[in-house]
């Protein structure tokens, strides 16, 4: 009789920020599993705690140290009871501010950047030999994916897959080139192999991730370079993979082949996150975005010509250094012209070491607050209108899991809208036509209109 070995160590992972951090956290758990670490939902009894940080959000460093203060108390309590808690800080704040972390929080055992988590077993071993904190914030990007284990924990019906890291654009406000390094694209064979594993584990929708994902240029074993459009075409041929998405894109890398992919590949969903950041050419130039507002609008027109039902989301920064009231009004006009289904908007927040941090003309907080409120008011109205427009329509919904109420399932439309409907658990992982009863500001309510058709047509 085979005896199952129960993991003896508990791992708590907390991620902030983008979906790439969520993906990275999954892979850190995969790397640590052979050492006997199993994920838990709370840090109090954990043998190891990893905070996977993001430098994009406002006051990221302050939030990190606040969380570390709470964890220090837990670490000391465990030590008093004869146990230990390894405390690690990973991600972009770790990369950018590793020295400050070890200086302000010497009880942190490990600081590692986004390109080092494949070395976690080695780093954990080094902690046992080190007198102080272990820091690894190098940039061996090409090695990380080569050394990750093939086996990974199932992500569910919807899964994320990193295909590209880093960025060469150097936007004035952004720390990504400094924390994630230069652009690097995984080999298409590796991406396809991981996608097949995800589908075998139950994934029906995969979102491809990258700091600048549409700059993907992976070289295959024969040395041929693939663009994102070719990769999407190959992924769409995987049996059982029903839907494909990708994020985050840069307008300068949206080439004609990728626009055509939205028209020609049914699995590519009609939803695209395409950050604009500002509607003012003057501010876009100060941001070093490399395109104008008119460039963006013409690109949107070409995309919608290729895929008329395409919905767009975007990023907007309010109060970038040097932004005037006229610049702000130009942003509002661009938002009105495009019509976004979703959006992320933020006040400009200085990032040490970036060009914008040292620029003249920083906008006062009250003005940034007011401009952000005006931007968000318009964006909320657009999202609510987009959701309301689906009421009465028949929409294909991918059911992803149980809803909050008994007998309810949650799912996603092709446009990434959450949908709730009364349906049985046997429909999880299938795409079903639903009549949308109502469109709410943040979700939709739907209903099955007939007995589900043969599920073999909708799921692997």
Residues comprising the binding site for [4Fe-4S] cluster? 18, 54, 92, 167, 171, 174
**Nearest CA-CA partner of 111 in 143, 86, 144:** 86
In angstroms, the CA 44 to CA 164 distance is 35
Q: E-strand spans in 163-279?
A: 164-165, 184-185, 205-209, 243-247, 271-273
Residue spans of alpha helices (H) in 163-307? 176-179, 188-200, 228-236, 256-264, 281-286, 293-306
Q: If you count them, how many residues does the chain have?
A: 460
> Which amino acids are annotated as binding site, given as ranges?
18, 54, 92, 167, 171, 174
In angstroms, the CA 218 to CA 384 distance is 38
**Nearest CA-CA partner of 17 in 90, 107, 115:** 90
**Nearest CA-CA partner of 258 in 309, 292, 314, 213:** 213
Tokens of 101: 């972390």
Cβ atoms of 276 and 294 closer than 8 Å: no
How many H helices and E strands in the chain? 13, 19
Pairing of strands 311-318, 184-185: unpaired
């Amino acid at each position: 009789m085979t005896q199952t070995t129960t993991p003896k160590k508990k791992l708590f992972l907390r991620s902030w920020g983008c979906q790439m951090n969520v993906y990275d956290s999954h892979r850190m758990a995969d790397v640590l599993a052979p050492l006997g670490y199993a994920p838990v939902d709370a840090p109090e009894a954990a043998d190891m705690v990893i905070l996977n940080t993001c430098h994009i959000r406002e006051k990221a460093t302050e939030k990190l140290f606040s969380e570390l203060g709470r964890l220090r108390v837990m670490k000391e309590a465990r030590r008093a009871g004869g146990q230990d808690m390894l405390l690690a800080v990973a991600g972009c704040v770790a990369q950018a501010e590793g020295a400050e972390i070890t200086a302000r929080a010497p009880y942190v055992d490990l600081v590692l950047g986004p390109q080092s988590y494949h070395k976690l077993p080695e780093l954990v071993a080094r902690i046992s030999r080190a007198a102080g904190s272990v820091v690894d914030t190098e940039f061996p990007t090409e090695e990380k994916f080569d050394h990750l284990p093939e086996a990974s924990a199932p992500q569910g019906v919807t899964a994320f897959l990193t295909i590209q890291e880093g960025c060469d654009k150097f936007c004035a406000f952004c720390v990504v080139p400094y924390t994630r390094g230069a652009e690097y694209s995984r080999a298409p064979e590796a991406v396809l192999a991981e996608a097949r594993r995800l589908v075998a584990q139950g994934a029906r929708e995969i979102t491809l991730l990258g700091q600048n994902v549409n700059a993907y240029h992976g070289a295959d074993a024969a040395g041929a370079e693939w663009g994102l459009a070719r990769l999407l075409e190959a992924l769409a041929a995987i049996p059982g993979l029903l839907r494909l998405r990708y994020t985050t894109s840069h307008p300068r890398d949206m080439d004609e082949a990728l626009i055509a992919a939205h028209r020609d590949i049914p699995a590519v969903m009609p939803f695209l996150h395409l950050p604009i950041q500002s509607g003012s050419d003057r501010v876009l130039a100060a941001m070093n975005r490399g395109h104008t507002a008119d460039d963006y609008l013409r690109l949107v027109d070409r995309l919608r010509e290729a895929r008329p039902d395409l919905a767009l989301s975007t990023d907007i920064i309010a109060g970038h250094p040097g932004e005037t009231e006229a610049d702000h009004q130009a942003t509002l006009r661009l938002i009105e012209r495009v019509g976004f289904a979703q959006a992320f908007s933020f006040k400009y927040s200085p990032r040490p070491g970036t060009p914008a941090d040292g620029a003249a003309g920083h906008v006062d907080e009250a003005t940034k607050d007011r401009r952000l409120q005006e931007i968000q008011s318009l964006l909320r109205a657009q999202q609510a209108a987009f959701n309301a427009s689906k009421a009465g329509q028949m929409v294909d919904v991918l059911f992803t899991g149980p809803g909050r109420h008994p007998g309810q399932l949650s799912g996603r439309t092709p446009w990434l809208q959450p949908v709730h409907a009364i349906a049985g658990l046997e429909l999880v992982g299938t795409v079903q036509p639903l009549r949308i009863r109502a469109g709410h500001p943040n979700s939709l309510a739907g209903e099955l209109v007939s007995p589900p058709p043969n599920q073999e047509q909708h799921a692997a």
